[in-house]
Chain A
Amino acid sequence: MNQSRDHFPEGDAFRRELNGRYRSATIGQIAFLSALLIAVISLTALLYNIVDGAFGYTAYEYKVDPSTITPKPLNELTQQELLDVLKANISSGAYNKLNNEQVMETRSQSDLLSLVLERIIRIDTKAVWSLTQSLFHKADIETEVADKYPDARLEFRSWLTMSFLSSPMSSRAEFAGARTAILGSLWLVGIAVLFALPIGVGAAIYLQEYAPKNIFTRIIQTNINNLAGVPSIVYGMLGLALFVRVLEPLTSGSLFGVTDSNGRTVLAAGLTMGVLVMPLIIINAQEAIKAVPDSLRQAAYGVGATQWQTIWHHVLPNSIAGILTGTILAVSRAIGETAPLIVVGASTFITVDPQGPFSKFTALPIQIFNWTTRAQPEFHAIAASAIIVLMVMLLSLNATAILLRNRFQRRL
């Protein structure tokens, strides 16, 4: 019986209909490609904007002429000579304060040189130009400097230097560094992940493997899914109320005998970030555990394993890839969130590195925010450098997690 042939188009009609299908597919492809192009253009624009601000010409003057201090050019002075220059030209009170922060004789030559430039010679930046301007309008810049700042030196400078990475904060943009912020961010992410990962994975295991499927667990599940979308400032307020105030003996360290501290520490901020990323970790871990095939569990039960043995030896090892993905997402979020850190009390000006979990702290997003809102263009330049540092940190942490995940996936 060929009754089915009457209801379908054949021959030319079929081909026309087929071409219609191909046309819809092409429209779809064009739409997706355009979306991809828009995304690529936006990302490129962002990267360009950042890199543009971190390199360029700068015109600056020395307030005090170096030749009045020492006959040799500054770069050629030895450590001892720099120390002598410092002792001779700054007040003993200031010298002692510097010595208390770090013993002068142990400081490196570049460190001492920066101190000399900062305290004695005193650089005064007159103007800053972006990378595009520096590359394409060099002649215009030179004429401008000759007109407006005849005494100034013109130099092409990268604001992202090794000393930028290793110097602490300073009130002068030329000498400010991101070291305290980098260390603060690392401490934060470390505490957040250490806190959230075991608890999050444990919660996921319980929800997937042990919890009965009743209305209570469904309410809990819905709540966890919603918490992943709560604005981060709300977590900041939670952190302020709970970790900074109520749990002050713990977060300030007074429980452990630390004096002279309050609740606004790296520990409180790290715990706040941990709570913030926990829903992400739970959801991803749950998906990973769900993806382990039931046949594997049955095989384990079949040889007489208990539920916990099955989970520990089979389910968990086979869901590590998904759990690491969740960790990547968590790290990315924890490193970039600014609002909760402001509420929990990150310092915007702090020169001392975090010594432990009970220290005051600052973080890269806070520093970037602070520098971007200043009036002087030099601060915008170092803000751009700090953004590059943040992105490199983020990409390295993610790359590590991805490498780990691939290694575990290939182990089979």
Chain B
Amino acid sequence: MENNSTPEYAITTHDLSIHYGSYTAVSGVNLNVEKQKIIAIIGPSGCGKSTLLRAFNRMNDFVPNCRVTGEILLQGQNLYGKDVDPVEARRKIGMVFQKPNPFPKSIYENIAWGARINGFKGNMDELVEQSLRSAALWEEVKDLLQKSAYELSGGQQQRLCIARTIAIQPEIILMDEPASALDPISTLRIEELMQELKKNYTIIIVTHNMQQAARASDYTAMMMIDDKRSGGVIEFDETKNIFTRPKDKRTEDYVTGRFG
């Protein structure tokens, strides 16, 4: 019998449901996310992918009327337990958003600020350089660290947001359609980056782009809306199985492009 909080799993969910008032947006999700793997969440628009993703780092707390039932276990501890501080959860689980949102500060400060408020006491210059290298941005900005982050291109800004996230050394990185606002070249660079990041972090990515999911991820979760208009995970398997031998007919319809 599998123990759901064995160390091989970075994070697991138990019967996770997310409700807005009386409407259930996501129901009954059971996922085991292995460490240092990339998990893609795919599905048609409006099936609750982003809602599910945001539940992992308690970003849904900011939506009024949002309730969560079920559990999300990080190292055996329920993230929605009574004595858990969401700030601590967000420190361990970072997030990269769909539209790049760097702080209106310099490139250096974007990375340093997060580190500083989390009590970083080492050499900040080194941390900034390391984070920018890990995000494949160092060579392009190493002489421009004092420039405003807003002067970078979209792709560079998104990599800066990734650098900012990994600077505080999270365990898991959540990515909400990180490349959907970028051109194809930047998109490919982000995907290459993800393969590098996987060596140190677990990545959960929501994507509309099936080719991206097929290319970049190790596991895929297929989400779909049921007739009560709430979304659920209908299949969760290794990516190669989902795209070549899906078990559920709806999954097969979606990945072969018959709809969605």
Contact = CB atoms under 8 A, between A and B. Distances in A.
Interface of A: 213, 295-306, 309, 313-314, 318, 412
Given A213-B64, A412-B104, A412-B150, A305 B161 contact: no
Given A295-B97, A298-B101, A303 B64 contact: no
Interface stretch (B10-18, B113-121, B135-143): B113-121
Interface stretch (B20-28, B87-95, B223-231): B87-95
A297 B63 CA distance: 13
B59 A298 contact: yes
Contact of B94 (A300, A303, A305): A303
Contacts of B117: 303-305, 309, 313
B198 interface: no
B90 A412 contact: no
Nearest to B161: A299
Given A295-B97, A296-B103, A298-B101, A303 B150 contact: no
Contacts of A309: 117
A303 B165 contact: yes
A331 to B, nearest CB: 27
A300 B102 CA distance: 9
B95 A300 contact: no
Contacts of B101: 295-296, 298-299
B97 A304 contact: no
Given A296-B103, A313-B113, A318-B104, A302 B90 contact: yes
B87 A305 contact: yes
Nearest to A412: B104
Q: Which 6 A-B pairs have the closest CB atoms?
A: A303-B114, A304-B91, A295-B101, A302-B95, A299-B101, A304-B90
B99 A295 contact: yes
Contact of A314 (B57, B103, B164, B168): B103
Contacts of A314: 103
A14 to B, nearest CB: 38
A318 B101 CA distance: 14
Interface in B210-229: none
Contacts of A300: 103
B103 A304 contact: no
A302 to B, nearest CB: 4
Contacts of A301: 59, 62, 90
Nearest to A302: B95
Q: Is the interface of A mostly helix, strand, loop or mixed?
A: helix
Interface string B181-211: 0000000000000000000000000000000
A303 B97 contact: no
Nearest to B114: A303
Contacts of B103: 296, 299-300, 314
Contacts of A318: 104
B75 interface: no
A300 B94 CA distance: 11
A296 B97 CA distance: 11
A213 B62 CA distance: 13
Contacts of A295: 97, 99, 101
A306 B87 contact: yes
B61 to A, nearest CB: 9
B32 interface: no
A303 B168 CA distance: 7
B17 to A, nearest CB: 23
Interface in B144-187: 148, 150, 161, 164-165, 167-168
B150 A299 contact: no
Contact of A304 (B64, B104, B114): B114
Interface string B41-67: 000000000000000010100101000
B121 to A, nearest CB: 16
Nearest to A294: B62
A302 B104 CA distance: 15
Contacts of A313: 113, 117
Nearest to A306: B87
Contact of A298 (B88, B97, B164): B97
A218 to B, nearest CB: 14
Nearest to B54: A298
Contacts of A412: 104, 148, 150
Nearest to A317: B104
26 contacts: A213-B64, A295-B97, A295-B99, A297-B62, A298-B62, A298-B95, A298-B97, A298-B101, A299-B101, A299-B164, A302-B57, A302-B90, A302-B165, A303-B113, A303-B117, A303-B118, A303-B167, A304-B87, A304-B90, A304-B117, A305-B114, A306-B87, A313-B117, A314-B103, A318-B104, A412-B104
